[in-house]
Protein backbone atom coordinates (compact mmCIF):
# COMPACT_ATOMS: atom_id res chain seq x y z
CA UNK A 1 0.00 0.00 0.00
CA UNK A 2 1.40 3.40 -0.94
CA UNK A 3 1.73 6.00 1.79
CA UNK A 4 -1.01 8.02 0.14
CA UNK A 5 -3.42 5.09 0.10
CA UNK A 6 -2.54 4.29 3.70
CA UNK A 7 -3.27 7.89 4.73
CA UNK A 8 -6.62 7.76 2.98
CA UNK A 9 -7.47 4.50 4.70
CA UNK A 10 -6.53 5.91 8.10
CA UNK A 11 -8.55 9.06 7.42
CA UNK A 12 -11.53 7.01 6.26
CA UNK A 13 -11.55 4.90 9.42
CA UNK A 14 -11.18 8.02 11.58
CA UNK A 15 -14.21 9.49 9.85
CA UNK A 16 -16.12 6.24 10.38
CA UNK A 17 -15.34 6.34 14.10
CA UNK A 18 -16.35 10.01 14.28
CA UNK A 19 -19.56 9.22 12.41
CA UNK A 20 -20.41 6.41 14.82
CA UNK A 21 -19.69 8.64 17.81
CA UNK A 22 -21.79 11.50 16.49
CA UNK A 23 -24.87 9.29 16.24
CA UNK A 24 -25.02 9.25 20.05
CA UNK A 25 -24.80 13.02 20.47
CA UNK A 26 -27.99 14.64 21.74
CA UNK A 27 -28.86 18.15 20.71
CA UNK A 28 -30.99 20.25 23.03
CA UNK A 29 -32.93 22.85 21.11
CA UNK A 30 -33.89 26.12 22.81
CA UNK A 31 -37.43 26.00 24.22
CA UNK A 32 -40.00 27.32 21.80
CA UNK A 33 -42.94 28.14 24.05
CA UNK A 34 -43.00 31.89 23.54
CA UNK A 35 -46.48 33.31 24.27
CA UNK A 36 -48.09 36.46 22.90
CA UNK A 37 -47.80 39.33 25.38
CA UNK A 38 -50.96 40.91 26.76
CA UNK A 39 -52.54 43.77 24.83
CA UNK A 40 -55.66 44.58 22.81
CA UNK A 41 -56.14 41.76 20.31
CA UNK A 42 -53.97 39.21 22.09
CA UNK A 43 -56.84 36.71 22.12
CA UNK A 44 -57.26 36.97 18.36
CA UNK A 45 -53.53 36.56 17.81
CA UNK A 46 -53.34 33.56 20.13
CA UNK A 47 -56.36 31.93 18.51
CA UNK A 48 -55.22 32.56 14.94
CA UNK A 49 -51.45 32.47 15.10
CA UNK A 50 -50.39 30.14 17.91
CA UNK A 51 -51.95 27.04 16.38
CA UNK A 52 -49.05 26.25 14.04
CA UNK A 53 -46.01 27.91 15.64
CA UNK A 54 -45.16 29.87 18.74
CA UNK A 55 -45.22 33.64 19.07
CA UNK A 56 -41.42 33.56 18.75
CA UNK A 57 -41.94 33.84 14.98
CA UNK A 58 -43.45 37.27 15.58
CA UNK A 59 -40.93 38.55 18.12
CA UNK A 60 -37.74 37.44 16.34
CA UNK A 61 -38.77 39.24 13.15
CA UNK A 62 -37.32 42.68 12.52
CA UNK A 63 -40.15 45.20 13.19
CA UNK A 64 -42.61 45.34 10.30
CA UNK A 65 -44.93 48.15 9.23
CA UNK A 66 -48.69 47.81 8.62
CA UNK A 67 -48.32 46.84 4.95
CA UNK A 68 -45.72 44.21 5.80
CA UNK A 69 -47.66 42.69 8.70
CA UNK A 70 -50.80 42.60 6.55
CA UNK A 71 -48.84 40.77 3.84
CA UNK A 72 -47.46 38.39 6.47
CA UNK A 73 -50.89 37.53 7.88
CA UNK A 74 -52.29 37.18 4.35
CA UNK A 75 -49.41 34.83 3.51
CA UNK A 76 -50.26 32.68 6.56
CA UNK A 77 -53.82 32.48 5.28
CA UNK A 78 -53.25 32.03 1.54
CA UNK A 79 -49.96 30.16 1.40
CA UNK A 80 -50.06 28.13 4.61
CA UNK A 81 -53.83 27.65 4.89
CA UNK A 82 -54.37 29.37 8.25
CA UNK A 83 -58.13 29.62 8.81
CA UNK A 84 -58.15 33.37 9.50
CA UNK A 85 -61.42 35.26 8.88
CA UNK A 86 -60.95 38.27 6.60
CA UNK A 87 -62.58 40.48 9.26
CA UNK A 88 -59.91 39.42 11.79
CA UNK A 89 -56.91 40.39 9.64
CA UNK A 90 -56.98 44.13 10.46
CA UNK A 91 -57.39 43.70 14.27
CA UNK A 92 -54.62 41.06 14.27
CA UNK A 93 -52.35 43.44 12.34
CA UNK A 94 -53.18 46.22 14.86
CA UNK A 95 -52.07 43.92 17.66
CA UNK A 96 -48.90 42.81 15.82
CA UNK A 97 -47.97 46.48 15.31
CA UNK A 98 -48.14 47.02 19.10
CA UNK A 99 -45.85 44.02 19.61
CA UNK A 100 -43.24 44.35 16.88
CA UNK A 101 -44.19 47.18 14.59
CA UNK A 102 -42.69 50.27 13.02
CA UNK A 103 -44.32 53.24 11.30
Largest CA distance in the chain: 75
Taking CB under 6 A as the criterion, the residue among 52, 71, 85, 90 binding ligand HEC is 52
Task: Give the Cα separation of 84 and 78 in Å (integer).
Answer: 9
Choose which of 53, 85, 90, 102 interacts with ligand HEC (CB under 6 A).
Answer: 53
CA triple 84-90-96, angle to 5 deg? 90
Site for ligand HEC in 67-86 (CB under 6 A): 72-73, 75-76, 80-82, 84
Which residues form the interface with ligand HEC (CB under 6 A)?
Answer: 48-49, 51-53, 57-58, 61, 72-73, 75-76, 80-82, 84, 92, 96
Amino acid sequence: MSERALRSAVLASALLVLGAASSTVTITLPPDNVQFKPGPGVDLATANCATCHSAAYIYVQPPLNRTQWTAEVTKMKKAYGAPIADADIAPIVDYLLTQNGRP
